[in-house]
Chain A
Amino acid sequence: MIKQVYDVVVIGSGPGGVAAGIAAKKAGAEDVLILERDVEPGGILLQCIHNGFGMENLGEDLPGPSYAQRYIIEAQGLGIVFLLETMVLDITHQRKIIATNKYAGIIEIQARAIVLGMGCRERTRAQIRLPGSRPAGVYTAGTAQRWVNIEGYMPGNNIVILGSGDIGMIMARRLTFEGAHVERVLEIMPFLSGLSRNYVQCLLDYDIPLQLQHTVKRIIGNDRIEAVETTRVDDRFNPIAGTEEIIPCDTLLLSVGLIPENELSRKAGVAIDPNIGGPYVDDDYQTSVPGIFAAGNVVHVYDLADWVTQAGFRAGENAAFFAIKTRNRELRSIPTTAGKNVRYVIPQQINKDNLAEKDVSLQLRVRQPIEAPSRILVKCGDEVITSKAEMYARPGEMISIDLKPKHYDVINSACAITVDVVERE
Chain B
Amino acid sequence: MSQLEEIELICVTCPKGCKLDIIREGDTFVKITAGCKRGKEYARQELTDPRRMVATTVKVNNGLHPLVPVYTASAFPKPKIYELLSILRELQLDAPIHINQVVLADALGTGIDVIASRDLPASSAI
**Residues of A near any B CB (own CB < 8 A):** 39-40, 46, 49-52, 55, 61-66, 68-69, 148-152, 174, 177-178, 195-197, 199-201, 205, 303-304
Q: In the complex, what residues of B have CB within 8 A of residue A49's CB?
A: 55-57, 69, 71, 117
Q: In the complex, what residues of A have CB within 8 A of residue B118's CB?
A: 46, 65-66, 68-69
Q: In the complex, what residues of B have CB within 8 A of residue A66's CB?
A: 99-100, 117-118
Q: In the complex, what residues of B have CB within 8 A of residue A52's CB?
A: 15
Listed residue (A46, A52, A197) with the most chain B CB atoms within 10 angstroms of its CB = A197
Q: Contacts A49-B117, A304-B15; is A63 near B69 (CB within 8 Å)?
A: yes
Q: Are the CB atoms of A63 and B17 closer together than 8 Å?
A: no
Q: Are the CB atoms of A195 and B17 closer together than 8 Å?
A: yes
Q: In the complex, what residues of A have CB within 8 A of residue B11's CB?
A: 197
6 A-B residue pairs with CB within 8 Å: A39-B126, A49-B69, A50-B55, A51-B53, A66-B117, A197-B12
Q: In the complex, what residues of A have CB within 8 A of residue B78's CB?
A: 205
Q: Contacts A51-B53, A69-B118; is A150 near B67 (CB within 8 Å)?
A: yes
Q: Does B1 contact A (CB under 8 A)?
A: no
Q: Does B119 contact A (CB under 8 A)?
A: yes
Q: In the complex, what residues of B have CB within 8 A of residue A178's CB?
A: 56
Q: Does B36 contact A (CB under 8 A)?
A: no
Q: In the complex, what residues of A have CB within 8 A of residue B56's CB?
A: 49, 174, 177-178
Question: Which residue of A has the minimal Cβ distance to B72?
Answer: A51
Q: Contacts A49-B117, A199-B10, A205-B78; is A61 near B53 (CB within 8 Å)?
A: yes
Q: Contacts A65-B118, A66-B117, A69-B99; is A197 near B15 (CB within 8 Å)?
A: yes
Q: Are the CB atoms of A197 and B53 closer together than 8 Å?
A: no
Q: Are the CB atoms of A69 and B119 closer together than 8 Å?
A: yes
Q: Contacts A49-B56, A69-B118; is A197 near B17 (CB within 8 Å)?
A: yes
A205 to B52, CA, bound (A): 10
Q: Are the CB atoms of A196 and B17 closer together than 8 Å?
A: yes
Q: In the complex, what residues of A have CB within 8 A of residue B57's CB?
A: 49, 148-149, 152
8 further A-B pairs in the complex, CB-CB below 8 A; given A199-B10, A201-B12, A201-B52: A49-B57, A55-B14, A197-B10, A197-B11, A197-B17, A200-B12, A205-B78, A304-B15
Question: Which residue of A has the minimal Cβ distance to B50?
Answer: A205
A149 to B58, CA, bound (A): 10
Contact among B13, B59, B117 with A63 in the assembled complex (CB-CB below 8 Å): B117
Q: Are the CB atoms of B71 and A51 closer together than 8 Å?
A: yes
Q: Are the CB atoms of A151 and B65 closer together than 8 Å?
A: yes
Q: Does B64 contact A (CB under 8 A)?
A: yes
Q: In the complex, what residues of B have CB within 8 A of residue A46's CB?
A: 118
Q: Contacts A61-B53, A65-B118, A149-B57; is A196 near B66 (CB within 8 Å)?
A: no
A85 to B12, CA, bound (A): 37
Q: In the complex, what residues of B have CB within 8 A of residue A151's CB?
A: 65-67
Q: Does B85 contact A (CB under 8 A)?
A: yes
Least distance between A13 CB and chain B CB atoms (Å): 14
Q: In the complex, what residues of A have CB within 8 A of residue B52's CB?
A: 201, 205
Q: In the complex, what residues of B have CB within 8 A of residue A63's CB?
A: 55, 69, 71, 117
A295 to B64, CA, bound (A): 29
